[in-house]
A and B are shown apart, each in its own frame.
Chain A
Amino acid sequence: MTPESTGKRRGPRVRHFVLALVAALVLLGASWIIPNWKDLAAFLPMPAHTYARFMAMQLFVEGRSEEEARNWSKLPLPILGSVKIDRAAKSVTVTAYFFRATARWVDERHGVVLE
């Protein structure tokens, strides 16, 4: 057996092993994602929804300043998208992680609602 022939045999084996490893990882990932899909799908819009609600609550119900509202509304995940505060309409619209959410003030008794 020459060193060249050994290398020829190892090549397909390594390739098979890597392919099997990738397939196993994909399957493992899918085995977590599929049963948890409902929860994951519910989680993805959460940063935008939560931040919009928090900001609207602070600004329009508690009457805090924008800086105070931002400090209070801090989430573990950074809000990398846009935050639009409409003081005339008393609403906050947040776009983050491909999702958009608006929270608006309703009235003195009922505070804000997440649309």
Chain B
Amino acid sequence: MPPVRAFFALAALSFLLLSCRPPASPDLELGARALPAAIESERLSFYAPPARTPLEWPTRGWKSVDPASLGLDPGALSAAVDPYFVRQGAEKDRVGVRTDGIVVIYHGLLVHERYAGGYGPESRHLWWSVAKSVGNALAGIAVKEGRLALDEKVSARYPPLGAPDKADIRVDDLLRMSSGLYSSETYESSFIHSTVNQMLFTIGSRDMGAFAASQPKVYGPGAIWEYSSLTPNLFSAWLSKVLGADYADYPWKRLFEPLGMSSAVLERDVAGTYVLSSYLYASARDMAKFGWLFLNDGAWEGGRILPEGWVSYTTTPAPAWLRTPAVDPAKPELGYGAYWWLNRSGPGKGLPWPSVPEDAFAAEGHWGQYVVVVPSRSLVVALESDTRDSGALDMNRLLAGLIASGMKEVGK
């Protein structure tokens, strides 16, 4: 073929290839919600509610104790945490592990706390995607109040999702990151194609729910698990229709105020939708209260904030996560429940934090934000940071070090 024709042929082929988005697989359209029998057995929550209700609640603040009084080795606690507070490079370079604060709660008591970078016990910090787990709590509260059902179709009360090919998406599909809507969850790695950047900062930022709903359907709902920051905001926009006038105060009246999270800030987009994907701020102490709520099965101060069984639902691996192949089996990533991450392996997937009990679950945010709950050790860890080096923060080592300071299995 002459070179000129070859150029044109190559250009035409590139055009065709680049114009195409991945088509929906027919196999994933039919019976998407059913799981093979071999996988069904994996579908259990490892969460067990505590046998006893705490005597004291941290609503008005955490009670600090000498860790030795609980049988912990203070030196071992410090040794576990210290490596995460060694800063590298100049402030403007933002390299290495950059922990801004850590709060360690053991049996409901504050046993270790440390801050850096100008942050302190009362400082607000951005928790990024930990906001998704707050979205989970708001969903649970609305379920408790009988205002939503998990198997409800989102389109019934949210017209932007009314297109025939999207009308079957349920609330549960949104909470389990398996809506099947197109998403490109890249931040720095692919600026141009990142739907999360578009939603947070440019074409989707005014009405994030509508932007999420406008994405093309790629898979059948419930078929494939794909982490997407778009779906929590679609859920949030839908929740605003469900709650009506109550939506504006709902996070405070039902969650932040009962827990005593006085530092909490939850931002909205221009349309008034709470950005449940990303924009939550609070102190580390307040975020530890949020973790303590989940450790205690949603109970608080003699009552209940979350409905019975909600934490078990939250910590049950998402069916779509179980059936979605691991990206790299040699580097296991956390499993997924409902807007919370799980220290779970699945078929062909290893244990992500091998030195940490399997019942551990976590709210996780961009640049190293974590609220980790380990019910079997009565342990909650809230870690705020600005760690931009992907993979630099070794949570397995940190948590294993804390537990090794003397944290015994509950009841043993």
Contacts and interface: CB of A to CB of B under 8 A. Distances in A.
Interface of A: 16-17, 20-21, 23-24, 27-28, 31-32, 34-36, 39-43, 45-46, 49-50, 53, 57, 61-65, 68, 70-72, 74, 76, 106, 108-115
Contacts of A62: 123-126, 281
A36 B266 contact: no
B269 A31 contact: no
Interface stretch (B193-201, B233-241, B298-306): B193-201
Contacts of B205: 49, 114
A32 B18 contact: yes
A40 B203 CA distance: 11
Contact of A46 (B11, B12, B201): B201
A16 B91 CA distance: 55
A49 B8 CA distance: 38
Contact of A112 (B18, B19, B267): B267
Nearest to B190: A39
Contact of A61 (B91, B118, B281): B281
Given A110-B266, A113-B269, A72 B279 contact: no
Interface majority SS (helix, strand, loop, mixed), chain A:
helix
B33 interface: no
Chain B interface size band reads: 35 or more
Contact of A49 (B3, B125, B202, B264): B202
Interface majority SS (helix, strand, loop, mixed), chain B:
mixed
B11 A40 contact: no
B38 interface: no
Given A62-B125, A62-B126, A65-B118, 8 more contacts: A24-B11, A35-B18, A41-B203, A43-B192, A49-B205, A57-B279, A110-B265, A110-B266
Nearest to B280: A111
Contacts of A43: 191-192, 197, 202
Contacts of B202: 42-43, 45-46, 49
A104 B10 CA distance: 48
B13 to A, nearest CB: 9
- Lowest 5 CB-CB distances: which A-B pairs, in order? A24-B7, A31-B15, A20-B4, A27-B11, A111-B267
B386 interface: yes
Contact of B92 (A23, A34, A71, A110): A71
B14 interface: yes
